[in-house]
Amino acid sequence: MDKKKYLVTGGAGFIGSNIAFELQKQGHEVTIMDDFSASNFKNLLGFKGDVIAADIFKFMPEDVYFDAIFHEAAITDTTVHDQKRMMEINVEAFKNVLCFAAANEIKRVVYASSAGTYGQNPCPMTESQTPMPENIYGFSKAVMDNVARDFAADHRDMVIVGLRYFNVYGPGEYYKGHIASMMYQLYNQMSSGKRPRIFKMGEQMRDFVYIKDIVKANMCALAAKESCVVNAASGKARSYNDVIALLNKNMGLKLEPEYIDNPYPFFQLKTEADLTLAKEKTGYAPDYTLEKGIAEYVEVLNKRK
C-alpha cells in the first residue's frame, strides 16, 4: 500500500487517537491537531507522528498537503449549554477545516457527525429523516451536515463524508469523565464492588457501537466515491439492562442494578441506525455485536487495573 499523509483533528481524544493509531499501523504518516482541552497525552503514548497543539477555531497550518483529513475535534460534552461556544468550536472551526482543505488541494475530508442530530425521530434512524436535535450539541452537528453538503456542492472535486456516530464505547475513552460511555462508567462502579446505577428502569435502548467499528467506518469512508452523510453504528438497539447483564457475565459478578430518576428532559428513549446507506456509499458493515464488544473491552479494562 502507498504511504499516505493524514491529518487527524481531535487526535488526542477517544476516537481521534484510535483512528490515528490505525492509520499509523497501516504504515501512513499521521499528524494530529488537538488543543488538549478535553484529552490527555496518555492517549498518544506510542504515537510516532507530529502533534500540533492548537485550537482549530483559531489556527490551521499553512501550505501543507494531506491525502485526507479526519476531523474529530469538537466540544463533545452534550451537557454544555454555552450555545455560542458550542457553535464556534463545532461549526465555525469545521468551516476553517473545510477552507483549509480546499486551499491546500486536499480532496477528502471525513468528519464526525452524530446520532444526536436525530433526536426523537423513529427507529431505525435513516439519513433522510429531518434532523430534530434536542440540545445545542445535536444542533451543532446538524448544522455541520448542512455546511458539508453546501461546501461539497461548491467543491465538486472534493469528497466530504459525514459519519453519524451512535453511542461509541471502547479503549481510549478514559479521559472523558462524566461523558465517557456507560460501559466504562458501569465497569468502574462494578469493579469497585458497587451496584451499577442506571436510569429507571434500564429499558431505554441505544445503538452501542464498539470503537473498532467506528475506526472501520472511517477507513471505509476513504473509499466513498461521492460526498455523503451516513450512519456509523452497530445497527442494533440494546438496553442498559443488557449492558449490565453482559458486564456481570464478563466480570464474573452478579450485581443487581440500582435504578435512579432521570433528570434529563431531552434523553433519547431509543436510538437505532439504519445502515443501508452507509453500506451503499462506503461499504461499511459492523463486525461487533454488543456481546463481542463488551467481552473484548472488559478484557482490556481488566488488564489496566
CA distance 88 to 93: 6
Question: Cell triple for residue 19?
Answer: 483512528
Determine which residue in the list 44, 68, 74, 106 makes contact with ligand NAD, applying CB under 6 A.
74
Judge residue 34's burial from the number of C-beta atoms within 10 Å of its C-beta, 0-12 exposed, 13-18 middle, 19 or more buried: buried
Count residues binding ligand NAD (CB under 6 A).
29
Residue with smaller CB distance to ligand NAD, 138 or 202: 138
Q: Which of 137, 187, 210, 288 is catalytic?
A: 137
Determine which residue in the list 22, 36, 80, 126 makes contact with ligand NAD, applying CB under 6 A.
36
Determine which residue in the list 6, 13, 68, 190 makes contact with ligand NAD, applying CB under 6 A.
13
Report if residue 57 touches ligand NAD, rule: CB under 6 A. yes
Q: Which of 148, 215, 152, 211 is nearest to 181 (CA)?
A: 211
Report if residue 39 touches ligand NAD, rule: CB under 6 A. yes
Residue with cell 493524514: 6
Question: Cell triple for residue 72?
Answer: 474529530
Q: In this chain, which stretch among 6-14, 222-230, 238-246, 276-284 interacts with ligand NAD, using CB under 6 A?
A: 6-14
297, HSE (Cβ side, Cα atoms, 13 Å): 33
Report if residue 56 touches ligand NAD, rule: CB under 6 A. yes
Told to judge if 65 belongs to the known catalytic residues of this protein, a careful annotator would answer no
Report if residue 145 touches ligand NAD, rule: CB under 6 A. no
Report if residue 271 touches ligand NAD, rule: CB under 6 A. no
Residue with smaller CB distance to ligand NAD, 16 or 235: 16
> What backbone torsions phi and psi does residue 229 show, to the nearest 5 degrees?
-120, 120
Determine which residue in the list 10, 170, 257, 293 makes contact with ligand NAD, applying CB under 6 A.
10
Question: Cell triple for residue 204?
Answer: 431505554
CA distance 68 to 85: 27
Strands 205-206 and 238-239: antiparallel
Residue count (the chain): 305
Report if residue 272 touches ligand NAD, rule: CB under 6 A. no
Told to judge if 111 belongs to the known catalytic residues of this protein, a careful annotator would answer no
Report if residue 51 touches ligand NAD, rule: CB under 6 A. no
Report if residue 127 touches ligand NAD, rule: CB under 6 A. no
List the catalytic residues: 137, 176
